[in-house]
Structure 1
Amino acid sequence: MSAVPSITLNNGVEIPQLGFGVFQIPPEKTRDATLAALETGYRHIDTAEMYGNEKEVGQAVRESGVDRSELFVTSKLNNGFHAHDDALAAFEQSLEDLDIGYLDLFLIHWPLPAVGDFVETWKAMEEIYRSGRAKAVGVSNFQPHHLRRLLENTDVVPAVNQIEVHPYLTQETVRAFDAEHGIATEAWSPIAQGKVLGDPVIVSIAERLGKTPAQVTLRWHLQRGDIVFPKSVTRSRVEENFDLFGFELSEGDLAEISALNRDERTGPDPDTFNMVPE
């Protein structure tokens, strides 16, 4: 097993703090990329219905030779299935496509405030959680006001909120709300699709430590408590992104990187994004 630290979610489930993401990896490349990650030592895989590669993730998990109990697999509800019964059926489809027995974590992918009532969607997620076929349930791209509605109107506190986080979008307000309510923060787009890798501050720290800018950025996430899952189809990059535990950033390094915040998104704003698949 790897030296990856785990975070205990609010229901007692342990999640590896570093995982492997398969967003934007084409289905035909997903199996090999996921196998490479598992062979490197990753034990946490993050996929979604929307990505169209759940079957290939499941194939890699089954072929890896790693015991299912040692793995943490996440998927997410696609945007066209927010109605209660549709959410339950979509979850069943994810289980069938993955064919790995159960999910460790299932998330509502987007709040879609103009599309439907995500509180009712969450009540379906609660049913899924109580069935035991998802060990934990959570949300993705939820702002504090979205979360507040869930906390006021439902029973199960989300275990996780997966949001866009990187040095140019540090998300301190959302992270503080999550922490206050026992919700773990996961970071997607952790290197801002590569935009931060040429930043002089990050480059300077990387050169001083003999690490790459990506390693420094991912280490920043880990030390501030984010759960992170970089993705790559290049084996050397997959291995590089896993090599984060032989060095530490100083408090000064962390502060310098956090000071780069400019509230700059690479993805949609959750308060305005309402796209559903046709």
Structure 2
Amino acid sequence: MFPKFHKLNSGHKIPSIGLGVYLTPVSIAKEISLDGLETGYRHIDSAQVYKNESEVCDAIAEWLKKDPSTNKREDIFYTTKIFDSDHGYELTKKAIEVSLERAKGIDYIDLILMHSPRSDYERRHGSWLALQEAVASGKVKNIGVSNYGIKHLKELLAYPDLKIKPAINQIEIHPWLTRTELAAFCQTEGIVVEAYSPLVRGQKFDDELLLSLAKKYSKTTAQILINWSLSKGYVTLPKTVTKSRLLPNLESDQFKLSPEDIKALDAKDEYFVTGWDPTVYPLDNEK
């Protein structure tokens, strides 16, 4: 019903639904990642600050070895992120090396994101230069950002030595936090919007409209929310540590919400942030 992939401005493809592993404990990160791959996920989203990069990469490597004739590395999209404390050219170069070492069993990283814009112009700029070099090395296929607002994206796009535009801006986005202007800016610039916390961390599962739509379509509340993300043209990253929820989340692309129901969900927008919002972080001249 929906495209299985989005084409990035780099020319690479990214699966429309990915498995998020934020707050997934190290003790189960490998198991749930492997379960996800066996279920049909081909996109897993990690980060250095999640402290489960090694486990996710080990799961991918194990899956690849299970059936080399059908389980191909080129079918997997693995993402990680460089945290704010490692902004700056030299620190980011070292951080990239650390992530590549953890990913040595899978040969390369499909996407590295800057986790947020929370530093300053010089360090953000230096980080982007290091990321561009990583792409040139061939060990990183795509680069992008996370939690960037319009002003941060404009700053990046104006770098005098910009060679590679961000492929992705990963942001919290769901019906209670629609970020219409930011999403439109990204799409105008050819930057794919990637929605994290599409399930609102379960905090709106008792919403009357959401429950009524779940009943109307004979779907779970999670499936309605994932489908809303897909209807907007976003890549979406539902997270679960429960094996039984993996397949239903992945199958959320097999129906379509009506335009009227999408509009009704859009109207829920109330700037409801479930975690943090670095998109409002000030630029140097605003501090």
CA distance in structure 1 between the aligned counterparts of 2:176 and 2:79, rounded to whole angstroms = 26
Give the CA deviation at 1:222.
Answer: 0.6
How many percent identity over aligned positions? 38
Post-superposition CA distance 1:62-97 (Å, at most 9, x none): 111332111000000122211201101111110111
- The match for 1:96 is 101
Q: Is the 8 A contact 1:8 1:15 kept in 2?
A: yes
- The match for 1:178 is 186
TM-score, normalised by the number of residues in structure 1: 0.94
CA distance in structure 2 between the aligned counterparts of 1:233 and 1:267, rounded to whole angstroms = 19
Give the CA deviation at 1:155.
Answer: 2.7
Counterpart of 2:252 in 1: which secondary structure? coil
Counterpart of 1:163 in 2: which secondary structure? strand
Give the CA deviation at 1:196.
Answer: 2.2
- Paired residue type of 1:237: R
Q: Does 1:15 align with 2:14?
A: yes
Q: Does 1:105 align with 2:104?
A: no
- Paired residue type of 1:108: M
- The match for 1:125 is 131
CA distance in structure 1 between the aligned counterparts of 2:236 and 2:33, rounded to whole angstroms = 16
CA distance in structure 1 between the aligned counterparts of 2:201 and 2:42, rounded to whole angstroms = 23
Counterpart of 1:129 in 2: which secondary structure? helix
Q: 5+ residue gaps in structure 2?
A: none
Q: 4+ residue stretches of structure 1 with deviation over 6 A?
A: none
Matches within 5 A, 1:84-233: 84-99=89-104, 100-113=106-119, 117-153=123-159, 154-233=162-241
- Paired residue type of 1:10: N
User: Alignment length, in residue pairs?
Assistant: 272
- Paired residue type of 2:134: I
Give the CA deviation at 1:113.
Answer: 3.6
Counterpart of 1:42 in 2: which secondary structure? coil
Give the CA deviation at 1:98.
Answer: 2.3
Counterpart of 1:80 in 2: which secondary structure? helix
Q: CA RMSD in A?
A: 1.6
- The match for 1:63 is 62
CA distance in structure 2 between the aligned counterparts of 1:28 and 1:84, rounded to whole angstroms = 33
Q: Does 1:80 align with 2:95?
A: no
CA distance in structure 2 between the aligned counterparts of 1:94 and 1:14, rounded to whole angstroms = 21
Q: Is the 8 A contact 2:143 2:168 kept in 1?
A: yes
